[in-house]
Structure formats: structure tokens, C-alpha cells
Chain A
């Protein structure tokens, strides 16, 4: 083990008590790390960030996860957490129970072990989404941001990037002109998609990655889930499995509101556009030198994938010449 891991093991022992073993890093980003370890034999996960978001802009993930867990959403149980304090483990960190399951889409979509999980994937997603959207927002209103106009939010980022993409301008104009009737605002996961679930042979065992959670229109989560970016070359429309219609039916059957295919399409257009703006942003981070990496640079060239998706989604309007 290196010095950094030794230091972290000592800090974890101070925080949790007990014997820390099997400490290993699972992933590392520019500001965020994930570690696996066990404390007195209990398998645990540590996620820590070097920075705390400015008040009113970030998500208090431990608070949201505890609220979601209490409300019946399938999320890992939090063992310890800290946010905003000058803590040796990190400015913001969460230690949660390590659940069994796979998150890599390629394996979930193709390995024989997950055949049964694939069958019930759409139903699992619908059940989790209804559970999330049924949470009472009141107790956590000051723990996550509110997005009142999701089109304007993306437009603001797009304008800041100062990199013209006419297909995006067309999509923004269409979204502005065809807004669905607003739904009562709920807690929205914000990144509910294949790749952010733990899945075992029987289905979803955890909904992960809540750092984009916000208060907003719940249909946003369904539009994001069906965007092509999260199908990983699977045949189906919902994370590579199942159809949009099956998702809408399963969502209503699980107790969610009735959503029309047109309303879902509006949110899918916004989802594609949002992923397009994110890929533009990531490519820009490389160009500006903020985060230089071959991975980040290559993501910049994925922008056209979302332009292509948008052209297909807006095909009826373009062909009608309206």
C-alpha cells in the first residue's frame, strides 16, 4: 500500500473504529475518489470530494440519500458522512454499505448472468422512479438546487461555451415553442440511467450517483433514461432494454402519473441536448487546459452523436417543413 492509502486507512479507523482491511481505490476523478474497504469485516464504500459546492448550487448527497433510503428508494445505507467540515478524510464524504451488483452497462446488457435482471429492468426503473418522485421534497428543500426552467438552464451553459451548433439552436427553439404543461415539482434524481445502477441477477440493487439531484419536473428523469447516450449499443430504448411505451406503462402501473409519448419525446429532446452541452463542455475543459486528458478530449467529439439523435427526434417537424 502507498502512503496515501495508509493515511486514509488510519483516518477511517479513527472515524469508524474497528479494523480497516482490503482498502483499494476503485476510481479517481479530478475532484472525486471512490474507495472500497471493510471495517471489522463489513464491506463499505467511501466516496470523497476535495471541494464542497457553493451554498445553493450543490447537493448535500448524504442528506438526500438518507431521505431516499427512509422513503423506500433502493439506495445504499449511509454509515458515516460529513459535508462542509474541515475533516481529514475530505471536504465532503460519504461512507455507505457496499452492495453486491454490477454497474458496467456492457456486462449487464450482454452477460448470461443478467438475463433475469434484463427482463425486469424496465419495471425496476419504473418502481424506483415512482419511489423517488413520491418522496416529500419539503424536508430537503435547502439541501439541493431547484431548476425552474430546465431549457433556460441548458441555454445558459450553451451560450457560455460560445461554440455554435445550429442543430442545438434548432432544438432550443423547438423546446421553447412546445413546452408541455408543467407538472408539480418533485425530487428529481438528475442522472437516472444505465451505468448509475448496481444490478445483480435479480435486478436493481442500488440507485447511485445522486450529485445532480434537484427539485424539478419528474418527467425529466424518464427523458434522460431513454436518451440514446445510455443505451450502450443495446437494441432497446430504455438503457438498451425495452421500449419507451413499456416504461410509460410501467411507471403508471407503479403508481406514477400518466405521461403521453409526446411529453416523453419533449424531455428526450431536452435530454439529448443536455448531454450534447455536457460533451461540448468536457471537450472545452480539455481545450482550455482545465482538465487535460485524452479521454476528455475525445468526449468533445461525441457532440455530433447528440446532433444526430436530435435530427432523428425532430424529423417529423423538419419533414413537415413547419
Chain B
């Protein structure tokens, strides 16, 4: 499967495809031949590379969406949003804040661990 190229002027395979190649080797080739703790660590390592591959693919759109959501709340950065919530600045805008935090959380989870999502429990 060949995806659309977005990494000009670099050559292909692109960063995501290289990471996936290493992931597949660890998971499908080396992993089954390893034993005990090595086998476990190889599974963890393959999972780490899957996260990296998903982040590479999702980052341009995720970063743009995130900046837009922060701007809509009137804050300049993740740190500024944290500080404002801690100071109570959103206490009377809870539902608006909730929508933004929910969108950000889902975007992060889709990269870090999509299988964790439990849609039956969601609003």
C-alpha cells in the first residue's frame, strides 16, 4: 500500500514507512523468536513504534486543530490553558471547555492507544 507523498524533498520510504518497517521486523520476525522478558520488551518496542508512526501521520492536522481550539478559548498555549483552568478562569465556561478538552483527548488517544477508547461509555 503506497500512501500519498508529503515529505518532499526527501526520498521514500518516508519517516512513517521506515518506522513501520522496523516495527514489523520487531513484531513479526524477532518477537516470536525471543523468550521471556526480551519477548515482552519487543512487544512494547513494536507498540512504541506504532505510536510514533501514527503521530507522524496525524501531527500536521492535529497541531493545526489544536491551535485553532486554543485560539477559540482565547489562550495562546497548552501551558496558558492549564494555568487558566487552575486559576478558575473557565469555571463559568465549563461546557465550552469540556468540548475542547474532549476533542483534544480523543485526538491524543487516537495516536497513543486507539484500542483504549470505549465508545459505549462516551456521551
Contact = CB atoms under 8 A, between A and B. Distances in A.
Given A167-B101, A294-B41, A294-B45, A308 B116 contact: yes
A170 B101 contact: yes
B85 interface: yes
Given A304-B112, A307-B108, A298 B44 contact: yes
Contacts of B108: 304, 307
Contacts of B82: 164-166, 168-169
B105 A297 contact: no
A116 interface: no
A141 to B, nearest CB: 34
A322 interface: yes
A134 B10 CA distance: 66
Contacts of B105: 167, 304, 307-308, 311
Interface in B46-100: 47-48, 51, 77-79, 81-83, 85-86, 88, 90-91, 94-95, 97-98
Interface string A283-299: 00000000000110110
Nearest to A312: B121
A317 B123 CA distance: 12
Interface string A144-183: 0000000000000000000011111110110000000000
Interface of B: 41, 44-45, 47-48, 51, 77-79, 81-83, 85-86, 88, 90-91, 94-95, 97-98, 101-102, 104-106, 108-109, 112-113, 116-118, 121-123
Contacts of B78: 164, 166
Given A169-B82, A298-B48, 18 more contacts: A165-B82, A166-B104, A169-B85, A169-B86, A170-B85, A294-B44, A302-B112, A304-B109, A305-B112, A307-B108, A308-B106, A308-B109, A308-B116, A312-B121, A315-B123, A317-B94, A318-B97, A321-B95
A302 B117 CA distance: 12
Contact of B97 (A164, A170, A307): A170
Given A295-B41, A304-B112, A318 B48 contact: no
Majority-rule SS of B interface residues: helix
Contact of B113 (A167, A172, A301, A315): A301
A319 interface: yes
A318 B86 contact: no
B47 A298 contact: yes
* Interchain residue pairs A-B with the least CB separation, the first 8: A318-B98, A321-B95, A164-B82, A169-B85, A304-B108, A164-B79, A301-B112, A169-B86
Given A298-B47, A308-B109, A166 B41 contact: no
Contact of B81 (A164, A317, A321): A164
Contacts of B77: 164
Given A166-B81, A294-B41, A305-B112, A321 B86 contact: no
Given A169-B82, A170-B97, A311 B48 contact: no
Contacts of A301: 48, 51, 112-113
A167 B82 CA distance: 8
Contact of A319 (B45, B81, B98): B98
Contacts of B95: 318-321
Contacts of A321: 94-95, 98
B94 A305 contact: no
A307 B79 CA distance: 16
Contacts of B113: 301-302, 304-305
B88 A173 contact: yes
Nearest to B113: A305
A230 to B, nearest CB: 14
A172 B86 CA distance: 8
Nearest to B90: A170
A297 B83 CA distance: 26
15 contacts: A166-B78, A167-B101, A170-B101, A173-B86, A294-B45, A298-B48, A304-B105, A305-B113, A307-B109, A311-B98, A312-B121, A317-B94, A318-B94, A318-B102, A319-B98
